[in-house]
Every structure is written in C-alpha cells, then in structure tokens.
Amino acid sequence: MVMAQALYKALKSDSTLEQIHVVAPEWSRPLLQRMPQISVVHSLDVAHGEFGLAKRHHLGRQLRSEGFSRAIILPRSFKSALVPWFAKIPKRIGDVGEFRHGLINNTSPSNKDKQIPSVCNYLRYINIESDVALVKKQYFPELSVDEGNQAKVLEKNAIPNDAPLIACMVGAEYGPSKQWPVEHFALLIDLLKQQGVNVCLLGSAKDTVVGKQIEALCHESIFNLCGKTSLLDVIDILAACKVAISNDSGLMHIAAAVDTPVIAMYGATTPVYTPPLHSKAKSFYVKLACSPCWQRTCQYEHYRCLKDIMPKDIFSAVISRL
C-alpha cells in the first residue's frame, strides 16, 4: 500500500486529473489518509481470501454515479477486477492476470519480473518508464506526519527526547524466512544502548511474542511497543526516529516514507524487488545459492540468509547514519 503511493504521485502530476479514489481494505485507511494525493477512500469490507461477490457488486454499483474515467487494478487476482467492472468504469487498466479478459480492457504486458523494483511495475500502468536500477526520487512515497499526535504518543509511552530514538521493526507478516533472529536483534540493541540511544520495538499484535523474546534477551531497558500502537501512531513514532532497523516488511516502507533512514535485512526476498525508497537506506542481503527463494519458511531449515547478517555490521551502518 505504501509503495502504491509512487503511482498516486505520478498520476497527480497530470494537471487534468481531478481526483484519485482508492478502493482498499479498511485496515489501510490510516495510511491512505496520510497521502495527500488521495481524495476519497472506499472501504471494501471483505476478509483476506474472501471472494465476497455480493459485497463487491454492491460497492461497484455505488461507485457508478462517481463518473470515473479509468480504474487501475494493481492486484492480479480475478476478484480484484470485479468492482471496477461492476462500476462500469470505461477504461480498466491492469494485467490480464487470472483470466480477467473482459474485466480488464486496457492491458499492460504481463510483468512478473522480480529483477526490477515493484514500484516500476506500478508506474508502467501509466506508461512511465522508470530506471530499473533505482526508482526516481520524485516518486518516492511520502506520508504526512501529525506532530501533535506524535508528541502525545511519545508521552503516552514515556519515551523521552533526551537521546536519539532508534526503531527496530522485529516482525514480518510473510513468515520466518523474512525475520532476522531475535538473538541478533538483542545483541544489536545492547551495542546501540552503549552509545546512549533509546530503542523502541515496533510491530503488530502478531509480533508480541517476538518482542517479548527480544526484550528478555536485552541487558538494558528498551521500549517494547509491539501490539500497543495503532497504525497512525506508528507512522508518527517512526517520523521521530533517527534510524529504523527492519526486516523486509510494511513498516520498513512506512519508515522510509516519513523520511527516516532505514537499515533493512533481507532473507527470502531481495532488495532489488522491494527496496526501501530512501536516499540514505542501506540493505543487507546474503545471496546464497538458494537465494532468493520467496518461501515463507526455509526449506533447508538453516535460515543462513538471515543468520549470516551480523549485528556488528548493522551496528556500523546505524552509527554512520547517526
């Protein structure tokens, strides 16, 4: 969702475009509210994996009166193309994907090549040829920050401003093959605390266990906020941080989008495909014979692609940015 803002920014550069509306799951509304390019968010109330034909039909009929000129469908699934079709939007742009002939009537050449940034794939829907090595900075995502809420959430969690704040995003929704070892995180945090900085752990409720494991291994106190913040709060906390250390995750992209330098660790995936879009970002990636495997768990059960990224190297990268 964050990376899609590159497309929104490119669209708004067209002075003839009046509004951009986004159809998305309700959970993503806080992110979209921080994107000034978006005029309206239409919530699609379907669970992950749910077909929800009746709900998609109902929303599509509601949107008919809006007078849209075109729809860009980013997911490649059949069901994702139904709402624009039900809404009778004349120009429906996307990949053919899962047998979407007719639902999509303005196709782009299918491009599942993971050797170029995924943002480049989004931009090609409006015929922008972006540098395959690095997405142009003008399209980097930029989320707005609420400084008032930032002050409130830092005070609520008793995070002082007496030292630089470092964020560690310890989870990965995708699975263990994206998660840097908890022992590595704990060792890194101990090294950082010796430099007189404050460290907070950020993650969803699903990351609560990992957060507690890291906290237990650390020899000095940290602020463990896993499962304790809203998405809006996390955006503002990350904007207050001097550096963010992260697995390849959604929070990594949020950190980059609020102009916080990112240090990212990649395991089963590759920084070529989903790099943190920030001029001072640094990615660590151990290219083994089996890398990238794109699997949720390590088929060989050694997770060397993550274990071989050493805390001392991450520490050096953080210090250089401080």
Whether residue 109 has pLDDT greater than 70 = no
The rounded distance, in Å, linking the Cα atoms of 16 and 158 is 47
Looking up residue 214, the CATH number of its domain turns out to be 3.40.50.2000
Q: What's the pTM value of the predicted model, to 2 decimals?
A: 0.91
Burial of 220 by CB count in 10 Å (0-12 exposed, 13-18 middle, 19+ buried)?
exposed
Same domain, 160 and 286: yes
What local confidence, expressed as pLDDT, does residue 135 receive?
64
3-state secondary structure of 38: coil
Is residue 41 within 8 Å of 21, Cβ to Cβ? yes
The set of residues, in sequence order, having a beta carbon less than 8 Å from that of 302 and lying 6+ positions away, is none
Q: Work out how many domains the chain is built from and give that number.
A: 2
Residue 142 domain-assigned?
no
Same domain, 173 and 246: yes
Distances (CA, A) of 15 to 10, 28, 150, 173: 11, 27, 33, 38
Distances (CA, A) of 75 to 11, 109, 170, 308: 18, 14, 27, 33
Q: Which token pair is 212?
A: 């507690």
Residue 253 domain-assigned?
yes
What digits encode the pLDDT tens for the residues 249-302? 999 999 999 999 999 999 999 998 889 999 899 999 998 999 998 999 989 989
Query: For residue 280, what are the domain limits?
Result: 150-321
The set of residues, in sequence order, having a beta carbon less than 8 Å from that of 90 and lying 6+ positions away, is 69, 70
Residue 311 domain-assigned?
yes
Band of pLDDT at residue 133, cut at 50, 70 and 90: very low
The rounded distance, in Å, linking the Cα atoms of 81 and 71 is 9
Residue 251 domain-assigned?
yes
Choice between 273 and 32, residue whose per-residue pLDDT is larger = 32
Q: Which of 98, 130, 162 is the last residue of a domain?
A: 130
Band of pLDDT at residue 159, cut at 50, 70 and 90: very high
Residues 151-171 have a mean pLDDT of: 94
Residues 203-218 have a mean pLDDT of: 94
3-state secondary structure of 245: strand
Mean of all residue pLDDT scores within the chain: 91
